[in-house]
Amino acid sequence: MDALDLARWQFGVTTVYHFLFVPLTIGLGIFVAGLQTAWHRTGNEQYLKLTKFFGKLFLINFAMGVVTGIVQEFQFGMNWSEYSTFVGDVFGAPLAMEALLAFFMESTFLGLWIFGWDRLPKRVHLATIWAAAIGSNLSAYFILAANAWMKHPVGYEVVDGKARMTDLWAVLTNSTALAQVPHVIAGSFVVAGGFVLAVCGYWLLRTRAEMWRRAARAALVMTAIAGAVVAGTGDHSAKLMYEQQPMKLAAAEGLERDTEGAAFSVVPGLEIPKLLSFLSTNDLEAPVQGTEDLQRRFEQQFGPGDYRPDGTVVFWSFRVMIVFGLATVGLSVLGLWLTRRRREFPAWLSRAMLLALPLPLIAVIAGWLLSEIGRQPWTVAGELLTASSVSPGVSLAEVATSLTIFTLLYGALAVAETVLLARHVRKGAEEQAPVQAAEAPREPSLMY
Amino acid sequence: MIELWFAIIAFLWTGYFVLEGFDFGVGMLAPLVSRNATEQRASLQTIGPVWDGNEVWLITAVGAMFAAFPAWYAGVFSTFYLPVTLILVGLIVRGVGLEWRGKVDNPLWCDLGIVVGSALPAFLWGSVFADLLFNNALAAVVGGVFTLAVCALHGAVFLALKTTGPVRRRARVAALIAGGVTIPVAVAALSSLGTIPALVSMAALAAATALIWRRREGWAFAATAASIVLATLAVFMELRVRPLPGLTLVEAASASYTLGMLTWIGLIALPFVLVYQGWTYWVFRKRVLVAGS
């Protein structure tokens, strides 16, 4: 165990943890904005109650997304100073843009939304939640553009051992980013839709209130549509991976040798002939490169070393992502069909909807494991190895200390957040006070 | 271009210290100026709508350092590894404390998180910058105490400005005490810099204390804000040539293409940010009325 291992663990722990909250924030923000819009248009009080109910759950979760995100920004400098120095010129730009164009908008307008219920005109107040929700989606775009650059670096040249940006537009319209953005954002909508479904399922088991039916139907629609987008963009991503990250594709399939008409292995030992070639290229006979042959070619290109990612993790995370993701989408399509034309939600469906909370969360985490472990041993594909990215001056003890602190803190906060969310779900939406009004004593118009 | 980006980063850090400075102060002092739950809630409500937006100044400052001076960014945060870890811990517990306290039955843990999470970064940022300048443990402690005291003063003045009744009265007392502590510490921390902004910054602190005494809270807040602006300016003037020991600004900088692109983006985006953040302060410009006062 050395500082590099611990730094990698720290990155894994903090990133996975951060990404438990982010998709919920991204999707739930839009969902709450949609509910408030529905209230604004119809004047139906049920939508107002739902807005405040889900708004509160959104805020509890938003706090975690923010505070875990700030660790990410510092971590590159703290643990990965060689990486930061090498790529800052290119990678820093989308990060700075995220802060300037998305974070300011998100947090400022969210503050206005929370405290502005009785202070802003209705229409303006509605606009603030939309601005906040759009801000968090925008921030996903910039982060994914930065992340995609690590897997498929474009718009740069290496000068004096450092990456220099030559084309910002190329970085922002990287084909990998353009594939990842809709995939991840739609995945976030599935996570948020699943969260809403689970909450509605809990309530539909207890009451037949029209309000929960409405919310559940909206979430079913959101999850089904977003699920279709996830599947479509996932297919597109696989085709890009074939071109840009053949090693990841081979590892995800456990394919060792270059093969024409490669089979898709469902689980080890169960294969569907030619499907992998077809999924990768739309051509049944196309050649697919295997890990061992790629390893040999990479050694010729980059010198001695092991260029294969952890095959087991990549193989299984790929399958978990697909199965758990499809299960959620299947559930929502089924739910839409069963509840068509104002049919009641059967009790077993409401119960099954509780699963819609963990399933897509596990799927998105597996997706990130596939994506990030699959690109090892590179931090920047073909340019910089993970082993060369770590901070040279940071000791094992320092990384161990911060890893321990963050892990313990994150564990405690996870428990607290779960308890808090569960308690607010149980309280229900009937007695929703304005989100902050209980705390906001009315002011006389006193000026200073 | 390099100088311009150094100035922009100095500006972002200044914005961060001025804005989050007062919400650190409010976070630390809220339990001291409040005698009951209602007052505590009202005290924290003065920063409720704005603290998160204030913190984005830090995220932007650090993001801009990463983009414009990668080696500086990497050097600072890997050098000050443990202090930065503790700053992050502080910002985490404070953030969840502020967001969650209205949603739990017993906010004691949240309040603890807010106090610790406000005091810890307020102290540590000062000691990190002092250590960056002087590379000396004593200087780091003095620098930390200085920023802690200034944040307390700035926050107390803000509380006095934004509340009514007993909270306002206690906040004024807190500000006077904080002023009394801050001025000698400021002399110790800033006199070694010796530049004009550093000297004027000290004078502004004295002026702020006097203005609070005369109940001119708005002007006192302007004075503490000016003091923080000048102190930050003094620090960045010192860092201008060598932002990190052994590293020149030019060596640390990104290429001119990146800096040029960032300049355009900043020129387009920053005015919007300033306008809508300014608007937030305008929307919540009224004093928070403390119930029963």
For residue B65, which amino acid is it? M
Residues of chain B contacting residue A92, judged by C-beta atoms under 8 Å apart: 63-64, 66-68, 70, 73, 254, 258
Contacts of A253 (CB under 8 A, 6+ apart): A262, A264, A265, A276, A288, A315, A318
Task: Mark yes or no for CB contact A93/B88 under 8 Å.
Answer: no
A chain contacts of residue B74, beta-carbon cutoff 8 Å: 76-77, 80-82, 84-85, 88, 391
Please list the rounded mean pLDDT of every run of 10 residues in chain B (293 residues). Answer: 91 95 94 88 89 91 93 91 94 92 84 94 94 89 93 94 89 92 88 85 90 89 94 90 83 88 91 91 82 53
Within 8 A of B60 by CB-CB distance, chain A residues are 96, 99-100, 103-104
Look at B254 and A114 and tell me if their CB atoms are within 8 Å.
no
- Vertex A259: Cα angle to A254 and A264 (nearest 5): 50
Residue A177 is encoded by which pair of tokens?
Answer: 């980013």
DSSP summary character for residue A304: S
In a domain, B277, yes or no: no
Taking the Cβ of residue A17 and every Cβ of chain B, the question of whether any pair is shorter than 8 Å is answered with: no
A146 contacts A94 by C-beta, under 8 angstroms: yes
Residue A440 pLDDT > 60: no
Could you tell me the residue ranges of all domains in chain A? 3-207+374-427
- pLDDT band (50, 70, 90) for residue A216: very high
Question: Which pair of tokens denotes residue A415?
Answer: 């428990």
Range of lowest pLDDT (A166-170, A241-245, B119-123): A241-245
Alpha carbon of A70: minimum distance to chain B alpha carbons (Å): 7
Query: Would you state the structure tokens that stand for residue A448, as one six-digit string?
Result: 């200073």
- Cα–Cα distance, B40 to A135 (Å, whole number): 31
Query: What value does the mean pLDDT take over residues A159-166?
Result: 89
- In DSSP notation, A61-123 reads HHHHHHHHHHHHHHHHHHH-HHHHHHHHHHHHHHHHHIIIIIIHHHHHHHHHHHH-TTTS-HH
Q: How far apart are CA A218 and CA A214, in angstroms?
A: 6
| A107-130: pLDDT as tens digits | 999 999 998 888 889 999 999 999
Q: Do B85 and A78 touch (CB under 8 A)?
A: yes
Whether B4 has its CB under 8 Å from any CB of chain A: the answer is no
Residue-wise pLDDT for A21-34, tens only, equals 999 999 999 999 99
Average pLDDT value over all residues in chain A: 88
State the distance between the two ends of chain B, measured CA to CA, in whole angstroms: 54
Which of B71, B91, B283 has its CB closest to that of A85?
Answer: B71
Choose the closest CB to B48 out of A99, A105, A115: A115
A345 part of contact set with chain B, CB < 8 Å: no
> Which of B58, B91, B280 comes nearest A108 by C-beta?
B280
Residue B228, domain member (yes or no): yes
Residue A434 confidence (pLDDT) above 70 = no
Chain B residue with CA closest to A55: the answer is: B103
- pLDDT, position A55: 93
Shortest CA distance to A91 belongs to which of A133, A42, A143?
Answer: A143
Predicted ipTM? 0.89
At residue B104, the 3 state secondary structure works out as coil
Interface touch B84/A394, C-beta < 8 Å:
no
Identify the domain containing residue B22 by its residue range: 1-244
Tell me the C-alpha distance between A39 and A29, whole Å.
15
What DSSP designation does B102 have?
A: G
pLDDT at A361: 93
* DSSP line for A329-351: HHHHHHHHHHTGGG----HHHHH
CB nearest B66 (choices: A96, A162, A393):
A96
User: How many residue pairs from chains A and B have C-beta atoms closer than 8 A?
Assistant: 245
CA distances from A105 to A113, A115, B269 (A): 12, 16, 10
Q: Nearest CA to B154 among B199, B234, B231, B209?
A: B209
> What is the pTM assigned to this prediction?
0.89
> What residues of chain B lie within 8 A of the CB of A103, using their CB?
56, 59-60
Residue B285 CB neighbour total at 10 angstroms: 10
Q: Write the burial class of residue A310 (CB in 10 Å: 0-12 exposed, 13-18 middle, 19+ buried).
A: middle
Position A432 scores a pLDDT of 59
Better-predicted residue by pLDDT, A268 or A382:
A382
> What pLDDT score was predicted for residue A439?
42
| Alpha-carbon gap, residue A115 to B40, rounded angstroms | 17
B276/A105 touch (CB, cutoff 8 Å), yes or no: yes
pLDDT at position A263: 82
**Number of domains chain B is built from:** 1
Is the pLDDT at A93 greater than 50? The verdict is yes
Q: Residue A258 in contact with residue A306, Cβ under 8 Å?
A: no
Q: Which of residues 69-128 of A touch B (CB under 8 A)?
A: 70-71, 73-74, 76-82, 84-93, 95-101, 103-105, 107-112, 114-116, 119-120
Distance in angstroms (rounded) separating the CA atoms of residues A126 and A117: 9
Residue B100: which CATH number?
1.20.1630
Cβ–Cβ gap B52/A107 under 8 Å: yes
Provide the token pair at B8. 């922009």
Average pLDDT for A51-66: 91
Establish if B145 belongs to a structural domain: yes
The DSSP element (H or E) to which A265 belongs, if any, is strand A264-267
Q: What is the pLDDT of residues A351-367, one digit of tens each?
A: 989 999 999 999 999 99
Share of chain A above pLDDT 90, in %: 52
Q: Cβ of B277 under 8 Å from any chain A Cβ?
A: yes
Q: Provide the 8-state DSSP code for B1.
A: -
In the stretch 12-31 of chain B, residues with CB closer than 8 A to chain A read none
pLDDT of residue B292: 53
For residue B219, being part of any structural domain is answered with yes
Residue of B49, B62, B287 with shortest CB distance to A73: B62
DSSP secondary structure string, B129-198?
A: HHHHHH--HHHHHHHHHHHHHHHHHHHHHHHHHHB-HHHHHHHHHHHHHHHHHHHHHHHHHHTTT--HHH
* Calpha distance B63→B75 (Å, rounded): 14
Strands A156-159 and A162-165: antiparallel
In single-letter form, the type of residue at position A17 comes to Y
